[in-house]
Amino acid sequence: MILILFLVTLAIGLLAQWHVKSAYARHSRTPVQSGYTGAEAAHAILRQAGITNVEIIEHEELLGDHYDPKRKRLVLSAANYHGTSAAALGVAAHECGHALQHKQAYAPLEMRMAAVGITSIASQMVMWIPLLGMATKLIAPKVGLLILAVGWGILMAFNLITLPVEFDASRRAKLVLGKMGFIQGGSESAAVNQVLNAAAWTYVAAFISSLIYFLWYLLPLLTSGRRRD
């Protein structure tokens, strides 16, 4: 049964990743009439918001774009840094959305930042506890279930907090790109929406997967039942 559960959650994650990569690939070929690159748009968005202490840097990993609140860095892949497509501007503006959240102390972002440490510990727990339990037999079944339920509960909560952070950043991106004239209505706006909406579903998929695992390990504790895997 655990193998089926693993395959189901794996399929959910892979489907979400395929969806975002497909949307990105399609709209990385959709040029914007404004001619701005992702980096130029990001600089302008941050400047208009009065954010002068965030560095915009380029890296080579595709779709590894992110905002680092600790280092105050907005990291864009080369394709999005130099690109003038709807996909490039959408991704760049989305990361600017996180910088705007940080400046405004957006509550869900603050909560996610505070939870990074314990979430890292939880991810190690859910990876190593099953292996240690099988290899050493030193962990009682109910203790192992409890530890795994707690670990997956933390991961689920982190993924839940992430949802408003990501959806809000995309909302900000769509608004500012249109307001500042980086994209036009119609096909350009639709392309940005498709890329950002597809990306958002990867976070929904992560939440669903962690919720499934959380319930899988929690329910036997609540029912005092045993499950045959």
44-69 pLDDT tens trace: 999 999 999 999 999 987 778 999 99
Residue 94: CB partners within 8 Å, gap ≥ 6?
Answer: 65, 169, 170, 173, 196, 199
CA-to-CA distance for 78 and 59, rounded, in angstroms?
6
Q: What is the DSSP letter of 49?
A: T
How far from 25 is each of 22, 134, 185, 201, 203, CA to CA, in Å?
Answer: 5, 43, 20, 16, 19
CA-to-CA distance for 76 and 160, rounded, in angstroms?
25
Domain boundaries defined on the chain: 2-223
21-50 pLDDT tens trace: 999 999 999 999 999 999 999 999 999 999
CA-to-CA distance for 85 and 83, rounded, in angstroms?
6
129 residue type, one letter: I
List 58, 61, 95, 188, catalytic entry: 95
How far from 2 is each of 146, 157, 217, CA to CA, in Å?
Answer: 17, 22, 11
Structural tokens at position 73 = 């860095």
CA-to-CA distance for 130 and 117, rounded, in angstroms?
21
60 given a catalytic annotation:
no
Average pLDDT over every residue of 133-160: 89
Global confidence as pTM:
0.90
